[in-house]
Amino acid sequence: MQYKVGNIFLFLSFTPAEKGQFLALDLGGSKFKVLQVKVREGMGIRRGGVEMEEKTYPIPKELLVGRGTELFDHVSESLKDFLHEKNISLDKKHPLAFTFSFACEQSSLDQGSLLGWSKNYRARGLQGKDVVQALRDAIDRTGGMDIEVLAMVNDTVATMMTCGFDDNYCEVGLIIGTGTNACYMEELRHVDLVEGDEGRMCVNTEWGAFGDDGALDDYLTEFDRDVDAASNNQGKQIFEKMVSGMYLGELVRLVVLKMAKLGLLFDGHVSDALRTKGKITTANVAAMEEYKNGLKNTRDILTGLSLTPSQDDCIAVQHVSTIVSFRSSNLVAAGLAAILTRIKQNRNLRALRITVGVDGAVYKTHPQYPKRLHKVVRRLLPECHVRFVLSDSGSSKGAALVTAVAQRLASQKRKVDETLSPFRLSHEQLQLVKARMRAGLEAGLKRKGSTAIKMLPSFVYRTPDGTEHGKYLALDLGGTNFRALLVNFKKGLQQNTRLHHKIYTIPLEIMQGTGEELFDHIAECISDFLDYMGLKNARLPAGFTFSFPCEQTALDTGTLVSWTKGFKATDCEGHDVVSMLREAIKRRNDFDLDIAAVVNDTVGTMMSCAYEDPQCEVGLIAGTGTNVCYMEELKNIEKTEQSTGQKMCINTEWGGLGDDGSLDDIITPYDVEVDQTSINPGKQRFEKLTSGMYLGEVVRQVLLDLTRGGLLFRGHVTEALKTAGIFQTKYLSQIESDRLALLQVRSILQGLGLDSTCNDSIIVKQVCGTVSRRAAQLCGAGMAAVVDKIRENRGLDHLNVTVGVDGALYKLHPHFSGVLQETARVLAPQCNVTFLPSEEGSGKGAALITAVPLLLTRQQETSSESS
Ligand code: BG6
Ligand code: BG6
Ligand code: GLC
Ligand code: GLC
C-alpha cells in the first residue's frame, strides 16, 4: 500500500527561499482547479509571500469515464483558457505543478504511472501510463503554450507541504474529502524502493485501499457491500468507501431506505427519490448534523426526497447520519493513530509532537467531524501532542513549492552536468588516448633523450622462476610511505615467503629539502629497522625500490631523471641514487648494506606478482602516482645497444604522456589549474589526470568553481575549500563508497571543514565519481595500448596476460579498479587481461630481483646458455 513520491525529503532539508511564479493544476478532488501561484522574492512562502489566483473548471461527467486523452485535453484546454483569462503571457515558458489525487507509482518528482482510478474517475487508457507524460502530450496537442511540467504530487503530499510551510512539525497530510488518504514522512531506510538510507521521504499510503485484501471484512455492513457493488471500482478502496465524502451520503440513504422498507420510518412509505443512488449527499449528512438547525435540515432534506417525515423519523434519520459519520471519523482516527505510532517508533520517541495537515470537504464542512476526530486520536495516543491544521488554501501552495524546489534542483543539476561534461570521455576519445599512448610508447623506445614517455630500460630480463632463495632487505621509497622489509625466500615455496616490515612516513620538509637530508633520513630509517630486527651487523643484500624515473645502465645504478609526485629534494636530479644512499649509509657508519639493485615500483610490483603468476608481465601502479612497466622485446628497444636476445622490462613512465601537448584536447581548465599550482608544472600531465595525488585537487578545483557559481555550499568559498590537498585519496574513496549513506558523506565533508547540506553531499559525490571515473578510464585506455603492443610484439591474435597492480587508488577506491578493467577490456578486445593486486608491495619484487638468478645479466645468461 505504499508508493514512493520522489525525493521530497530533500526539499524538507532546505530553507524555504524558493521564489517564482507557477501554474498549478489540481485534479481529483471535488473540484478541478487551475491556479497561478506567485511566491515573492525574498519573502518565501513561509513568511506569507504567496499570491494565488484560481478558477474552477467543471468536468463534464462523460469525460470522467471517457477516454483518458479527452480528459487530459479538457485539462489542457482549461489551462489555456486560464492563461488567456488572466492575461498570462503565452510567449514565456511557465513551470507547472500538478496535484493529481490518485494512486501513482513515482520514480521521480516528474514521473508517475497511474496504478488505478478511484472515486468517480474511470477514464480509459491511462492505467499503467505516465500521467505527467499524458499531460505533456495533451498540452502539446492543445498547442500555443510553453509549459514545463516539473512535479506531480498527490493531494495528501501537497496538503502536508502547504501546512508544513507554517508549521515545521507538519509531517502528515490527510484528506477526508471525496476520497480519503494520508501521507507521512517515513525514514528512508525503510523505503525499499528508493536508494539511500539517510533522511526521510514522504510516502503516500493510499490508505483508501485498506481492506481490499479482506482485512476489514469483519467490519463491513450490508450497506457497505451494497455501496461497493454499485461503485465504479468494485472490491477496491474498501476503507475509502466506509469513510469518504463520495460514499457517506449513500450509506445513509441505504440505511434509511432499508428502515423505511421495514416500516420503521415514514410509515413504511418509500419514495422513488429515496430509491435513487446519490440522492442523499455528504453535504446533506453535514446539514442533518448541524448544531441547532440539524433537525430542521433533516426534515427539509427528507421532504425534498418526496417523503413526509414525522418528528421521530427526523430524529431517527439524524441518528443514522451521526452513526455513519461517527464511524468514518473513528476509522480515520484509528488509521491516523497507526501512522503516528509508527512515526513515534521510527524515531524511538516516548512522546511525539506532530502536526497533521488536513483538507477535504468532509473535514471542512461537516460541523462535528473535526472535533470528533481530534478527540478520538488524542484518546488513542494520550502520549502524543497532535495538532491538526486545516489547509485553508487547498493543496496548490504546497504543490507549487515542491515544483519550485524541483525547478531549482533541475537547473542546478543542469549546471553541474555542464561543469562535469568535459570530464566525461566518449569511446572515441578513449580510443584516441589509447592511440596516443601507443605512439608515445613507440617514440620512447626509439629515441634517446627526452620524450614525453621515457621508456626506461630496467635491466631486468625475466620474471622470477621460483628458484630464488635467501634473506634480503628491501627498501621502498616513493609511494605514500617509506618501507623497510626483510624478505626470506624459500626455494619453490612461493607461499611461504617470510616478510617483516616497518613503515616510516617521510615529512614534507624532507621530501622537499636537500638530497643529503633525504638520504640521511632514509639511512636513519634503515638503521632503525635493522635495530628492530636485530640485524645491525649482518651485511644483507638489498633491493631498493625507488619510485621515480631513473636512467639505468645496470641493475644497481640509476640516475634520477627528474622528481615527480611530491618530491623535490635538491641536488638529486642527474645523480645516481644508489651512490647517494651508499654515501648516506657511510656517513652514519653504523651498518652496511650490499645494494644490489635499484628498481622502479612498477617493476617491483610486476616481479612480486610474477612470483605467484608466471603470466604476469606487466606492472601497474595506481597510487600517489601512476606508471606501468612491461616485458618488451629487446629488439624493439632501439635506443639501447643490446639489440639481440629476448626481453627486458621497460619502465614506461607513462605519467609523462601529454607533456608534449598530446592530451590538450581532453585537459579541462580544472586540470590546468592543478598542473599550474603543482611543484612540476607542465610535467606528468597524464599522471595529473589519473593519480591519487592529484584527483582530490581536481575535485577541489571543480568544487571551488561550483561554489563560486552558487551551486554548492550556499555559495560560500571557505578557507577549508581554498586549502590545497584537503581531499586525499582516502577521502575520495570513502565519499564514493556505495555503502556509505549521504549522512556519512556529509560528516566526512564536515570533518574536512566543509559545512554541507544533504544536497551538497550529493553533488560532491557526483564530482568525485566523475573525476575518478575519468582517471580509471584513462588508465584503462593506456593499459589497452600496452597489452595490445605486447600482443602484436608476439604476432598473436589473442593474448592472455596478467597485470600486477599496486597503489592506494587501485586498492582502496570502490570503483576505480572496475572501471579500469572494463575500459581495458573494451579497448583491447583481443587481450584477456587479469589484474592481480600485489600482496606485499613492490619491496618483495625488489628483493626477488636481488636474489641470485635474476642478477645474471643477459650476457651472462647467453654465455651460460651457449656453454
Ligand atoms: C482541495 C485540494 O482543497 O481538497 C485538492 O486542493 C484535494 O487537492 C481536495 O484533492 C480534497 O477534497 P475534496 O473534498 O475536494 O475531495
Ligand atoms: C606500495 C609499493 O605497495 O604501493 C610501493 O610497495 C608503491 O612501491 C606504492 O610505490 C604505490 O602506491 P601508493 O598509493 O603508496 O602511491
Ligand atoms: C483517493 C486517491 C488518493 C487521494 C484521495 C483523496 O483515495 O486514490 O490518491 O489522495 O482519493 O483525494
Ligand atoms: C611516478 C613516478 C614513477 C612511479 C609512479 C608510481 O609516476 O615517476 O616512477 O612508478 O609515480 O609510484
User: For 352-400, how does the pLDDT look when each residue is reduced to its tens digit (9 = 90+)?
Assistant: 999 999 999 999 999 999 999 999 999 999 999 999 999 988 888 888 8
Three-state DSSP class for 464? Answer: coil
Residue 519 clears pLDDT 70, i.e. is over it = yes
Q: Which three cell numbers stand for residue 80?
A: 489555456
Mean pLDDT on 536-542: 90
Three-state DSSP class for 403? Answer: helix
Per-residue pLDDT of 642-657, as tens digits, reads 655 689 999 999 999 9
Q: Pick the ligand that lies closest to the CA of residue 687.
A: 4
Active site residues: 483, 547, 601
DSSP string, 167-235: -TTEEEEEEESSSEEEEEEEEGGG-TTSS--SSEEEEE--GGGTTTTSTTGGG--HHHHHHHHTSSSTT
Same domain assignment for residues 238 and 136: no
Cβ distance 342 to 312 under 8 Å?
A: no
The answer to the question of residue 224 being in a domain is yes
Domain count, the chain: 2
Q: Pick the ligand that lies closest to the CA of residue 27.
A: 1
As for ligand 3, residues whose beta carbon falls within 6 Å of it are: 28-29, 101-103, 118-119, 154-156, 175, 177, 179-181, 206, 208, 240
Range of the domain at 234: 217-390
The answer to the question of residue 32 being in a domain is yes
Per DSSP, what are the bridge partners of residue 85? none
Q: Which amino acid is at 228?
A: D
pTM score, whole prediction: 0.75
Q: Pick the ligand that lies closest to the CA of residue 625.
A: 4
Same domain assignment for residues 373 and 401: no
pLDDT of residue 645: 61
pLDDT of residue 9: 40
Give 613: exposed, middle or buried? Use CB within 10 Å, 0-12, 13-18, 19+: middle
Q: Which three cell numbers stand for residue 365?
A: 464542512
Q: What is the DSSP letter of 336?
A: H
For the CA of 806, the closest atom of ligand 2 is 4
Same domain assignment for residues 332 and 223: yes
Residue 195 clears pLDDT 60, i.e. is over it = no
pLDDT of residue 257: 98
- Separation of CA 435 from chain center: 33
Q: What is the CATH number of the domain that holds 365?
A: 3.40.367.20
Q: Is the CB of 843 under 6 A from ligand 2?
A: yes
* Residue of 326 and 727 predicted with greater confidence: 326
Helix H, strand E, coil C: the string for 621-661 is: EECCCEEEEEEEEHHHCCCCCCCCCCEEEEECCHHHCCCCC
Cβ distance 607 to 851 under 8 Å?
A: no
The answer to the question of residue 145 being in a domain is yes
Same domain assignment for residues 381 and 403: no
Per DSSP, what are the bridge partners of residue 484? 475, 502
For the CA of 209, the closest atom of ligand 3 is 7
CA of 845 to the centre of ligand 4 (A): 16
Residue 332 clears pLDDT 50, i.e. is over it = yes
CA of 850 to the centre of ligand 4 (A): 21
Q: Judging by DSSP bridges, how do beta strands 647-651 and 799-806 pair with one another?
A: unpaired
CA of 101 to the centre of ligand 1 (A): 8
Residue of 421, 422, 416 lying closest to 713 (CA atoms): 416
Cβ distance 507 to 496 under 8 Å?
A: no
CA of 338 to the centre of ligand 3 (A): 18
Q: What is the CATH number of the domain that holds 118?
A: 3.30.420.40
DSSP string, 724-776: TT-S-HHHHHHHH-TTS-HHHHHHHHHHTT----HHHHHHHHHHHHHHHHHHH
The answer to the question of residue 724 being in a domain is no
pLDDT of residue 12: 41
Mean pLDDT on 619-630: 98
Same domain assignment for residues 127 and 250: no
Same domain assignment for residues 245 and 382: yes
The answer to the question of residue 17 being in a domain is yes
Q: What is the mean pLDDT of the chain?
A: 91
Band the pLDDT of 8: cuts 50, 70, 90. very low
Mean pLDDT on 395-418: 86
Mean pLDDT on 198-211: 88
pLDDT of residue 198: 56
pLDDT of residue 344: 94
CA of 498 to the centre of ligand 2 (A): 20
The residue whose CA is least distant from atom 8 of ligand 3 is 102
* Residue of 728 and 272 predicted with greater confidence: 272
Band the pLDDT of 196: cuts 50, 70, 90. low
Mean pLDDT on 417-434: 98
Give 287: exposed, middle or buried? Use CB within 10 Å, 0-12, 13-18, 19+: buried
Q: Which amino acid is at 177?
A: G
Per-residue pLDDT of 13-51, as tens digits, reads 333 455 678 999 999 999 999 999 987 655 444 455 778
CA of 799 to the centre of ligand 3 (A): 63
Same domain assignment for residues 253 and 119: no
Residue 191: how many CA atoms within 13 Å on its side-chain side?
28
> What percentage of the chain carries pLDDT values higher than 70?
92
Same domain assignment for residues 378 and 330: yes
Per-residue pLDDT of 428-464, as tens digits, reads 999 999 999 999 999 999 977 789 999 999 999 988 8
Per-residue pLDDT of 155-193, as tens digits, reads 999 999 889 878 889 999 999 999 999 999 998 777 765
Same domain assignment for residues 343 and 405: no
813: how many CB neighbours lie within 10 A of its CB? 27
> What percentage of the chain carries pLDDT values higher than 90?
75
For the CA of 156, the closest atom of ligand 3 is 10
Burial readout 638-652 (b: 16 or more C-beta within 10 A, e: otherwise): eeeeeeeeebbbbbb
Q: Cell 603470466 belongs to which residue?
A: 615
pLDDT of residue 7: 39
Q: Is the CB of 361 under 6 A from ligand 1?
A: yes
Question: Ligand 4: which of 653, 657, 810 to mutate, judged by most atoms within 8 Å of the beta carbon?
Answer: 653
As for ligand 4, residues whose beta carbon falls within 6 Å of it are: 478-479, 547-549, 564-565, 600-602, 621, 623-627, 653, 655, 687
Q: How many helices (H) and strands (E) does the chain have?
A: 32, 26
The answer to the question of residue 589 being in a domain is no
Same domain assignment for residues 401 and 346: no
Burial readout 177-210 (b: 16 or more C-beta within 10 A, e: otherwise): bbbbbbbbbbbbeebeebebbbbbbbbbbbbbbb
Last residue of a domain, one of 355, 390, 425: 390
Cβ distance 34 to 82 under 8 Å?
A: yes
CA of 490 to the centre of ligand 4 (A): 30
For the CA of 175, the closest atom of ligand 1 is 11
Residue of 498, 487, 510 lying closest to 844 (CA atoms): 487
Residue 54 clears pLDDT 70, i.e. is over it = yes
pLDDT of residue 385: 96
The residue whose CA is least distant from atom 9 of ligand 2 is 479
Same domain assignment for residues 411 and 325: no
Same domain assignment for residues 379 and 401: no
Question: What values do phi and psi take at 473, rounded to 5?
Answer: -100, 140
The answer to the question of residue 663 being in a domain is no
Per-residue pLDDT of 298-310, as tens digits, reads 999 999 999 999 9
Dihedral of the CA atoms 57, 63, 68, 69 (nearest 10)? -70
Last residue of a domain, one of 390, 425, 444: 390
Q: What is the C-alpha to C-alpha distance for residues 678 and 372, in angstroms, rounded to an integer?
A: 72
| Angstrom distances, CA of residue 450 to CA of 453, 562, 590, 684 | 8, 11, 40, 13
Last residue of a domain, one of 333, 357, 390: 390
Q: What is the C-alpha to C-alpha distance for residues 741 and 791, in angstroms, rounded to an integer?
A: 44
pLDDT of residue 862: 44
The answer to the question of residue 104 being in a domain is yes
Three-state DSSP class for 473? Answer: strand
Q: Angle at the Cα of 651 (from 649 to 654), degrees rounded to 5?
A: 140
